[in-house]
Amino acid sequence: MKKVLIIEDNENNLYMMRFIITKLGHEVLEARDGGAGVDLAKRERPDLILMDIQLPVLDGYSATRKIREDPAFKEIPIIAVTLYAMVGDKEKAMAAGCTAYVEKPINPESFIKALKEYISGRRNFCP
């Protein structure tokens, strides 16, 4: 069982991600703002982080950069999960330190596939 941290302020999105991750047999940690997400990540050391970009307190870009400041988080994948789908948004997320980018609304089939690949470590991480 792996620990997956979801940093998401929308209850519906949080519910769906939590449902999918627990059905895959993994533990879910939750934070509803970027600041709390950074603190929880540093305290719990999850195996995977799902990061919303538009968050209260500290946006997902800033939260990702803060997490990546700690060398212990170099290999932990951070997947941006966001409604932002404008030209350049993916590049901005990757430049902040995200490993991958998933657009909302979430397609459960592709979301499950990405989760399995990143949780299993079959993907190369490039923070």
Domains and CATH numbers, the chain: 3-120 (3.40.50.2300)
Query: What is the C-alpha to C-alpha distance for residues 78 and 76, in angstroms, rounded to an integer?
Result: 6
In this prediction, residues 98-119 reach a mean pLDDT of 89
pLDDT for 126: 40
Report the alpha-carbon distance of residue 5 to residue 88 in Å, rounded.
Answer: 25
**Is the distance from CB of 30 to CB of 54 less than 8 angstroms?**
no
Distances (CA, A) of 70 to 9, 12, 63, 75, 112: 24, 31, 12, 11, 28
Residue 123: what pLDDT? 56
Model confidence, pTM: 0.92
Residue 55 has pLDDT above 70, yes or no: yes
Residue 66 has pLDDT above 70, yes or no: yes
